[in-house]
Structure 1
């Protein structure tokens, strides 16, 4: 499927990955409808910071993914839906799990139900590497068992199963994309890489973090966005789950030291109990196999390997340390 000229709905378009995806799709020549979370300030989230030509090109729909009528209205006349809208903060899911079920599970149900009824050509449903929990084997393939080690990950497992059930039951043209840890410009400070960068950029030498021994498979947002498009374009991906990961593993502690090195600073990491997950909830190891993505949809990371990760970190630092961008973050606070 050629995405140029297609009317594409992006839910969660106001967020970190969603805003980058909208900009990329506009660049490909797609007719983009951006579903943003309704608010009385008429804020479009990160899309407010997009280039004027992007804002002029998109059709913005303000709504709530939990509302089936609004979702159906937004999806009318769309060829493709890229469903990113979700609650994603793991600490917040510990004390507000009900909202995660409503947003992530019911929101996904609203999408696939409307897609079935409206005859949408393709739905790309967004999962997360968190559904795998701590790796039982590495690299993690799409056949790895699913483990709900937090209410967030459990809600995403439920959402994934809802999406797949509509493919199996009704032939709804769904593909599940499973990105590993995305990072880059605009990411929330609840995530570890912005947490480290913003503390250092604000002059801190003692960097407050949670557990530093777990490993992650970090993916620069440009690679993640290309993954979405590769999955959407592939007929072979229908009904499949596809990992989007770098196939490169690094610990949180090593990541912090790499960032400090790139920023020319010496740091000391201080453990902050508030940032620690409950012991059995911590995901100790994530390392993606991206072999299926390469074979099925022709995707490979441009920022994979240690060198690629270093380049992505440099680009992320450059964005976050711009005074106008840094001022939008509360580096002194713990963001859940």
Structure 2
């Protein structure tokens, strides 16, 4: 499928990955509608920071994926839907698990049902590597068991299974992309890499983190956005779950060392109990097998971790006003 000229909707377009994907779709010549969550301030999230030429090239609509009639109205006439809107903060899911069910499971059901009603040609549903839980074997392929180790991951497992059911029950042309740990410009300071960088750039000599031993498979956001595009373009991805990861494993502790080395400041790491997950909820190891996405779409990451970190650090330097280094935001 060639996305040029296609009527494309992006839910969660104002967010971290969604904003990068929206920009990429405009570059490809898609006719983009960007759904942002309704708010009384008329705030469009990261879309507000776009170049004016890009803003003028998209149609921004407001709504809430938890509201079915609104989603029907927005999805009518769309040919491709990228569904990224979700609650994603793991710590907050411990405080308000029902909000995650309503948004991630019920909201996803609303999107899929509207796509079915209006015969959308392709739906790309967003999963997460958190659905796997701590690796039972590595690298993690798409056949790895799913483990609900947090209310967030459980809600995303539910959403993934709803997407699977719409393909199997109604033949909805849906593909599920499962990104591993995406990082880069515009990511919330709630996430580990911008937390590290923003605290150091704020002049902290001691930075607060959670556990340093878990490993992650970090993927630069521009590579992740490209993976979404490739999954949408390929007919071979319909009905499939597809990992998007770097196939490179690194511990949080070693990631901190890399960032400290790049920035060139001497800091001390403090383990903050507030940032540590409950013992049985911590995902201790993530390492993606990306064989399937390479075979189906010919996608492969272009950015090394070092290159991605350098770009991220430079972006945060220019945008420190978005970060509150003294506050831990769940």
Could you say whether these structures have the same fold, taking a TM-score greater than 0.5 normalized by the shorter chain as the test?
Answer: yes
What is the distance in 2 between the residues matched to 1:289 and 1:328? 34
Question: What RMSD over aligned residues (CA atoms) do the two structures have, in Å?
Answer: 0.5
What is the distance in 1 between the residues matched to 2:177 and 2:47? 23
What is the distance in 2 between the residues matched to 1:59 and 1:335? 31
What residue number does 2:273 align with? 273
Asked if 1:177 is matched to 2:177, the reply is yes
* CA displacement 1:274-316 (0-9 Å, x = unmatched): 000000000000000000000011111112xxxx100000000
What residue number does 2:262 align with? 262
What residue number does 1:251 align with? 251
Asked if 1:334 is matched to 2:301, the reply is no
Structure 1 unpaired stretches of 5+: none
What is the distance in 2 between the residues matched to 1:332 and 1:188? 14
Pairwise CA distance, 1:250: 0.4
What is the distance in 2 between the residues matched to 1:26 and 1:4? 9
SS in 2 for 1:10: strand
Pairwise CA distance, 1:111: 0.8
What is the distance in 1 between the residues matched to 2:124 and 2:257? 36
What residue number does 2:63 align with? 63
What is the distance in 1 between the residues matched to 2:172 and 2:189? 36
SS in 2 for 1:143: coil
* CA displacement 1:121-174 (0-9 Å, x = unmatched): 000000000000000010000000000000000000000000010000010010
Between the two proteins, the alignment pairs up a number of residues equal to 330
Asked if 1:44 is matched to 2:40, the reply is no
Instruction: Please show how residues 20-35 of structure 1 align to structure 2 within 5 Å.
Output: 20-35=20-35
SS in 2 for 1:175: strand
Pairwise CA distance, 1:238: 0.3
What residue number does 1:316 align with? 312
Pairwise CA distance, 1:240: 0.1
What is the distance in 2 between the residues matched to 1:300 and 1:328? 31
Pairwise CA distance, 1:95: 1.0
Pairwise CA distance, 1:320: 0.1
Runs of 4+ in 1 over 6 A off after TM superposition: none
What is the distance in 1 between the residues matched to 2:224 and 2:311? 15
SS in 2 for 1:36: strand
What is the distance in 1 between the residues matched to 2:51 and 2:164? 36
Pairwise CA distance, 1:92: 0.1
What is the distance in 1 between the residues matched to 2:325 and 2:71? 35
What residue number does 2:239 align with? 239
Asked if 1:203 is matched to 2:203, the reply is yes
What residue number does 1:114 align with? 114
SS in 2 for 1:176: strand
Pairwise CA distance, 1:58: 0.4
What is the distance in 2 between the residues matched to 1:301 and 1:328? 28
